[in-house]
Chain A
């Protein structure tokens, strides 16, 4: 009985390398890849392959539970490290801004048009209904609508909500309000994306609902002869904000369409491919809403001229359209 077990000898010969791999992985996981020395980086693939082959041998010759579970955990960790993504956060963000985001938007033109149709359809519906009969406003907003901007308000009051007068409002108050609106809008945008997977039906409802809300408010101002001024007030940030909401809806429809009509692929694979693309769009929507909130919080308070407001609105529209839809050269890898 003096000779050692085969499985024990096997382990004795290799455990030094296993421990080395373990150490490198622990270091990379805790302190990041950058803290590995060149020597460790070079050793990693060899140690990984050795651990994987050790695992398959150990399964067939060893009954030591601890060795096998250790090797399984080690190989799993090493596999995810070796085959995991190695780009830094900064690189990913650049890639997102330069390529992924505009690509994901420009590839979904039809769903964007569909989302725009629902949103502006809701808008137009509410607008014309309210112009015919202002009672509709109360139907849409409910009787306990607390905002003062309603059909009963005086023209002067409505006008005062559009322009910032010196000293009427605290300078920070509106900033707080616009960040509240950002939270609200961003949450709606993410909802519109996420709900898409129920065949896009809740997304469509959400778009129509938000369109109705704005459309009916628009009708109030239009009715009092403030249409031109209100458009400037709304569109200085609204171009960015409403574009973001429509794109979020488009992201939802992309998923919904992929789930409903998977085509050649399985429903799961189709949902998955669409989900990745749509998530990029949704992420972009959050960025757009941040920009919109800045325009709303600062731009709108500082700029009180209608012409300048229209100019800002038009230029943001041009910037977004160029950014998303003008084809660009494929970057050289």
Chain B
């Protein structure tokens, strides 16, 4: 996913020596990479370095919103239940006042829940935090309190308005009005789907967008074990063997080594051995072989990259 450059347009025409199935798969993969690249925005920091921001997709935004709505309802219902217990013990007069305060509280939960969290350091509501999203200013500057206010006050027409029109209706021309209103307000609700930057109307007015800001963990370098002298002396790959694959396959291999089960590792090891004609030696485990081959392949590809040659995948032959 995090190839250093956006995928350049590759000639997807079928090449001699590639099976039909492989060509179809490759084309699908390249199309997927293109799609992902469309969601990436470059931000050049004042230090002159480029940071790539990935925009949150509409479905992630909707998911975060669902979580936030659930939290809001939980707060509202919990306080209402708490209030109903307290009210029993109060005189009618003070019970009314307690209810009055709850109504004001309800208004603030409804409108200021988002503002409260987004004004904070993480610029994200609980729903957004769970999905690894945050609000950011579109120009890369700081996210001002005014922007947060603007984007959340607008929420009222995006969500509240379609909802109100849906509940309206009833008699005579009212139903037609409601239908017309629903369609009109539906435009706001569905706005994020129809623009490149996945902005809500509120984002548009406030000059913000929502980006992915997941927390990644730094894991062990896979090549660290393969660098041990006793292992590296056992696996001496020829240059031809290290040329069999490209960067895409290297990344897939990294994922396999980091995440998959031993069964899958065994299958992958068997396929690589067959491809590069590697004869399995006495007492050689699949894991060790894969790690050693990963190290050798990465060394080769990184050397070529330093010389300005990016071998994007195994079909990329020059």
Q: Which of B143, B150, B207 contacts A85 (CB 8 A)?
A: B143
Please tell me if the beta carbons of A73 and B1 are within 8 angstroms of each other in the complex: no
Chain A 42-74 against B: per-residue CB contact (8 Å), 1 yes, 0 no? 000000010011011001111111111110111
Chain B 39-51 against A: per-residue CB contact (8 Å), 1 yes, 0 no? 0000101110111
Chain B 46-60 against A: per-residue CB contact (8 Å), 1 yes, 0 no? 110111110000000
Q: Which of A7, A175, A271 contacts B96 (CB 8 A)?
A: A175
Instruction: Knowing A79-B43, A272-B205 are in contact, say whether A171-B93 is a contact too (CB < 8 A).
Output: yes
Determine chain B's interface SS by DSSP, over half rule.
Answer: helix
Please tell me if the beta carbons of B136 and A80 are within 8 angstroms of each other in the complex: yes
Please tell me if the beta carbons of B305 and A61 are within 8 angstroms of each other in the complex: yes
Please tell me if the beta carbons of A63 and B157 are within 8 angstroms of each other in the complex: no
Determine chain A's interface SS by DSSP, over half rule.
Answer: helix
Please tell me if the beta carbons of B305 and A63 are within 8 angstroms of each other in the complex: yes
Give B176 Cβ to nearest chain A Cβ, in Å. Answer: 17
Q: Which of A56, A75, A83, A274 contacts B141 (CB 8 A)?
A: A83
Chain B 169-210 against A: per-residue CB contact (8 Å), 1 yes, 0 no? 000000000000000000000000000000001001111000
Give B171 Cβ to nearest chain A Cβ, in Å. Answer: 10
Instruction: Knowing A64-B221, A276-B146 are in contact, say whether A182-B104 is a contact too (CB < 8 A).
Output: yes
Query: A333 an interface residue at 8 Å Cβ cutoff?
Result: no
Residue of B nearest to A83 (CB): B142
Query: A18 an interface residue at 8 Å Cβ cutoff?
Result: yes
Instruction: Tell me which residues across on chain A come within 8 A of B95, comparing CB atoms.
Output: 172
Query: A212 an interface residue at 8 Å Cβ cutoff?
Result: no
Give A208 Cβ to nearest chain B Cβ, in Å. Answer: 17
Chain A 215-244 against B: per-residue CB contact (8 Å), 1 yes, 0 no? 000000000000000000000000000000
Please tell me if the beta carbons of A68 and B103 are within 8 angstroms of each other in the complex: no
Give the complex CA separation of A55 and B136 in angstroms. Answer: 21
Please tell me if the beta carbons of A175 and B97 are within 8 angstroms of each other in the complex: yes
Give the complex CA separation of A28 and B222 in angstroms. Answer: 31
Query: B80 an interface residue at 8 Å Cβ cutoff?
Result: no
Please tell me if the beta carbons of A191 and B207 are within 8 angstroms of each other in the complex: no
Give the complex CA separation of A15 and B217 in angstroms. Answer: 12
Query: A176 an interface residue at 8 Å Cβ cutoff?
Result: yes
Query: A255 an interface residue at 8 Å Cβ cutoff?
Result: yes
Count, chain B residues at interface, CB 8 A: 86
Give the complex CA separation of A114 and B251 in angstroms. Answer: 61
Chain A 76-92 against B: per-residue CB contact (8 Å), 1 yes, 0 no? 11011101110001001
Please tell me if the beta carbons of B92 and A73 are within 8 angstroms of each other in the complex: no
Query: A24 an interface residue at 8 Å Cβ cutoff?
Result: no
The number of chain A residues touching the other chain, given as a range, is 35 or more
Please tell me if the beta carbons of A172 and B104 are within 8 angstroms of each other in the complex: no
Chain B 14-34 against A: per-residue CB contact (8 Å), 1 yes, 0 no? 000000000000000000000
Q: Which of A8, A53, A62, A268 contacts B49 (CB 8 A)?
A: A53
Give the complex CA separation of A293 and B123 in angstroms. Answer: 31
Query: B290 an interface residue at 8 Å Cβ cutoff?
Result: no
Query: B306 an interface residue at 8 Å Cβ cutoff?
Result: yes
Residue of A nearest to B132 (CB): A73
Please tell me if the beta carbons of B121 and A65 are within 8 angstroms of each other in the complex: no
Instruction: Tell me which residues across on chain B come within 8 A of A32, comparing CB atoms.
Output: 121
Chain B 84-109 against A: per-residue CB contact (8 Å), 1 yes, 0 no? 00000000111111011101101100
Instruction: Tell me which residues across on chain B come within 8 A of A255, comparing CB atoms.
Output: 205
Query: B168 an interface residue at 8 Å Cβ cutoff?
Result: no
Please tell me if the beta carbons of B51 and A8 are within 8 angstroms of each other in the complex: no
Binds B, one of A129-137, A152-160, A277-285, A303-311: A277-285
Give the complex CA separation of A280 and B144 in angstroms. Answer: 11
Q: List 30 A-B contacts (CB under 8 A).
A: A1-B227, A4-B227, A5-B227, A5-B295, A8-B223, A33-B121, A61-B305, A61-B306, A65-B2, A65-B251, A66-B219, A68-B2, A89-B119, A170-B92, A171-B96, A175-B96, A175-B97, A182-B103, A182-B104, A183-B103, A183-B104, A193-B153, A194-B157, A275-B205, A276-B146, A276-B206, A277-B146, A279-B205, A283-B153, A290-B104
4 further interface pairs, Cβ-Cβ under 8 Å (given A59-B4, A77-B215, A194-B153) = A63-B302, A84-B142, A179-B101, A276-B207
- Top 4 A-B pairs ranked by shortest CB distance? A172-B96, A279-B150, A275-B205, A272-B207
Q: Residues of B at under 8 Å CB distance from A? A: 1-2, 4, 43, 45-47, 49-53, 92-97, 99-101, 103-104, 106-107, 111, 119, 121-123, 134, 136, 138, 141-147, 149-150, 153-157, 160-161, 201, 204-207, 211, 213-219, 221-224, 227, 229, 232-233, 235-236, 247, 250-251, 254-255, 258, 295-296, 298-299, 301-302, 305-306
